[in-house]
Amino acid sequence: MARTTLTGHWIRITPAGHVASSLPVAEVGVFQDDAHRHFTPLIDDRRREARDGWKHELISHDEWLQRAQPCLTGQCDHQEPTSA
Ligand SMILES: [Zn+2]
């Protein structure tokens, strides 16, 4: 894996559009399945999340600052998720 070029972040987005958590792409790699597996180890949980509309996106650090940081620091306008 070309780790030196991996500077973005995976973000985990609730059905309401809230960024629930993030991981550095350098830790996870560029494949969405791998990212989902890191966030959610159990396949039954991953299937349920996919069905419920959870999403995972790979974004740049600049985009992370705009979209993810407010959510991760509790300063966004999304509704609180009932479970993370
Ligand atoms: Zn939010």
Higher-confidence residue of 9 and 2: namely 9
In this prediction, residues 52-73 reach a mean pLDDT of 96
- pLDDT tens digits along 45-62: 999 999 999 999 999 999
- Interatomic CA distance for residues 23 and 26, integer angstroms: 8
Q: How many CB atoms lie within 10 A of CB 47?
A: 11
- pLDDT tens digits along 10-39: 999 999 999 999 999 999 999 999 999 999
Say how many Å lie between the CA of residue 84 and the centre of ligand 1. 12
Say how many Å lie between the CA of residue 46 and the centre of ligand 1. 21
Q: Break the chain into its structural domains and give their ranges.
A: 9-72
Say how many Å lie between the CA of residue 4 and the centre of ligand 1. 30
Q: Who's near 24: CB < 8 A, 6+ residues apart?
A: 6, 8, 9, 10
- In this prediction, residue 5 carries a pLDDT of 62
